[in-house]
Amino acid sequence: MGSLAHKAALVTGAASGIGLATADLLEREGAHVYRADIASGAGVHLDVTDEGSWVTALLQIPKLDIFVHSAGIASVSLIEGCSFEDWRRVLAVNLDGAFLGLKHVLPMMRKNPGGGSVILIGSASGIKPAAGAAAYCSSKAALGMLAKCAALEAKDANVRVNWISPAGVVTPMWKDLPEVPDRSKHPLHRMAFPDEVAEAILFLAGDGAAGITGTELRLDAGYTL
């Protein structure tokens, strides 16, 4: 029996990348995983930018112990050339989506005698700025403060809220890379892989992290040093 036996988990962005790796790992550890994504074929259809979609999706979930918000997008554009539409699109998915998730998931977790664990996926780009990524960097920087506020508001119910900030991860977001990084390289000399981020999420979701809340776990191989 896995470490998360009898736990129910919701993972957004579960059709690919970090979300898919996380859903697979949590399932292997015994959790009942609800895989949510806007992509067709997802177990739970969810547009994270639409509050009505959250309400409909969560009607399918009677109990929730773990919430992993992995849905996210990026956009590459200098500020001067970034359309307001693109700016708002990135903020809508990366920040508004996390807000809506917290707004509707936290009341469910408050009903649990043992509380719950929320893990948001931030980014090293929320710590270290990058030219041409103002929308993405801003969304991830704000995500960290959102997580801290949520952690304070939910601690009375024993609901923990943390976030992970990886640097580059080999996901579809990086599909234009000339080549996939070599996993055999030293872990501090390459990008991370989704299953490595999933392992960090598993730690924060489990009882071994029972005393950790409002905390950022940097998985960036020293990128932000």
The per-residue pLDDT for range 68-77, each reduced to its tens digit, is 999 999 888 9
The count of domains in the chain is 1
| Residue 163 covered by a domain | yes
User: Each residue's pLDDT tens digit in the chain (225 positions)?
Assistant: 689 999 999 999 999 999 999 999 999 999 999 999 999 888 999 999 999 999 999 999 999 999 999 999 988 899 999 999 999 999 999 999 999 999 999 999 999 999 999 999 999 999 999 999 999 999 999 999 999 999 999 999 999 999 999 987 877 665 554 455 566 676 777 778 899 999 999 999 999 999 999 999 999 888 899
Residue 140 covered by a domain: yes
Residue 133 belongs to some domain of the structure? yes
88: domain CATH number is: 3.40.50.720
Alpha-carbon distance 182 to 185, whole Å? 6
Q: Which of 54, 67, 136, 163 is catalytic?
A: 136
Residue numbers of the domain that contains 149: 8-178+193-219
Nearest partner of 119 among 144, 100, 142, judged by Cα: 144
Q: What is the pLDDT of residues 7-25, one digit of tens each?
A: 999 999 999 999 999 999 9
Q: Mark whether 136 is an active-site residue.
A: yes
| Length of the chain (residues) | 225
